[in-house]
Amino acid sequence: MSKSPTIELPVNISGKPCRILAGPGLLAQAGTLCRETGLSGSCLIITDDNVGRLHGASLQHALGQAGYDVQLLQVPPGEISKSLAAAEDLADRMIAGGLDRGSFVVALGGGVIGDLAGFVAAIYHRGIPYVQVPTTIVAQVDSAIGGKTGVNTQAGKNLLGSFHQPELVLADTTTLSTLPDREYREGFAEVIKHGAIRDAAMLDQLNPEDSPQSLAPLIARNITIKAAIVAEDEREKSDLRALLNFGHTIGHAIENVAGYGRFLHGEAISLGLAAALEISQTKAGLSLEAAEQVRAKLKAYGLPLTIPSDLATKSLLAATRRDKKFSAGKIRFVVVPALGQAHVTEDVTEEDMGRAIDSLRL
């Protein structure tokens, strides 16, 4: 398949416009695009060691050519860096580097870097602008969109965070070609989730054989889904944005109990989706045929559908109780009665979740 052209998706959340572009070669245009967006002052690229080695110099060069004074800070890859300690360390290094309230941050990497760098931007001098340059499928279609930033604690995922909308999002599909196969495939769990909750037709069109260079229309389609939901319910005041959590209650529990890093985010979400499909069948009337269609897509991308035996159901349920999606002690669980439709229910019990978890064991 040939390369896709660049697609621009203007988004307005809480009255604040954000330019989102998806397509090949955007990294090289980052400096010009930041200038067009009105960003000034010095800038800091936050990335991890792996992405920094691949793309750090190119992004630094592009920003420098546009006249920015650019610094680059790297953290270790993986969920280990998505912590309050890492955020504090970055802030200290920013202070030492002379970054001030007129500076801006550029997040270069996957979901961990986007969440961490966005969180640092949100708290540094009580908030400075930032740009998202997501380099993974999961970040391009999901985590870079919507302004959720945060870090993990030992008790759970994303329990500390802030809403802080980016000024600009550059989803350069060229960077996807540099991903290891496992990290490339895991991001499609979020794509499949979007199909299950909002765009059933997209599920039929997903093809694991498509090349990264051809994915701009798919990336844009998913960005449109995410941005439309966030624009209507940025801070989860209604149940609308909560629909994006389909599969995440149990998925996040699996990440937490397994220890961050054992499963990639999309792998844990695949397991959470499989459990949520089971619950949707028993509690919301989802047909077996529809559930099997989603499971088949997860399997086609090499994503897991069975929970390892060493992750005890009791431990996973305990982790779900610390999830942000609980309210006043009640479980707020997202179910899909039919593909492309979703709603939040409080009718799902711990027993229901336990049975769904156990149904995924070998």
**Residues acting as catalytic residues:** 126, 148, 190, 226, 236, 241, 245, 248, 252, 265
Q: Do 221 and 204 contact (CB within 8 A), yes or no?
A: no
Can you read off the two tokens belonging to residue 50?
A: 């792996």
Distance of CA 107 to the CA centre of its chain: 13
- Which residues make Cβ contacts (< 8 Å) with residue 194, sequence separation at least 6? 141, 142, 202, 222, 225, 226
Instruction: Please report, for residues 209, 261, 271, the alpha-carbon distance to residue 253 in angstroms, rounded to integers and kept in the order given.
Output: 31, 13, 10
CA distance 332 to 326: 6
Question: Rounded to 5 degrees, what angle do the CA atoms 177, 306, 188 make?
Answer: 25
CA distance 64 to 329: 51
Burial grade of 54 (CB within 10 A; 0-12, 13-18, 19 or more):
middle
Strands 43-48 vs 70-75: parallel, antiparallel or unpaired: parallel
Strands 343-345 vs 333-335: parallel, antiparallel or unpaired: antiparallel
**DSSP E strands: which ranges in the chain?**
7-13, 16-23, 43-48, 70-75, 104-109, 130-134, 148-153, 156-163, 168-172, 326-327, 330-331, 333-335, 343-345
Q: Do 337 and 277 contact (CB within 8 A), yes or no?
A: no
Can you read off the two tokens belonging to residue 268?
A: 């844990």
Looking from the CA of 120 toward its CB, the CA atoms found within 13 Å total 35
Closest CA to 117 of 95, 147, 141: 147
Can you read off the two tokens belonging to residue 350?
A: 């711990």
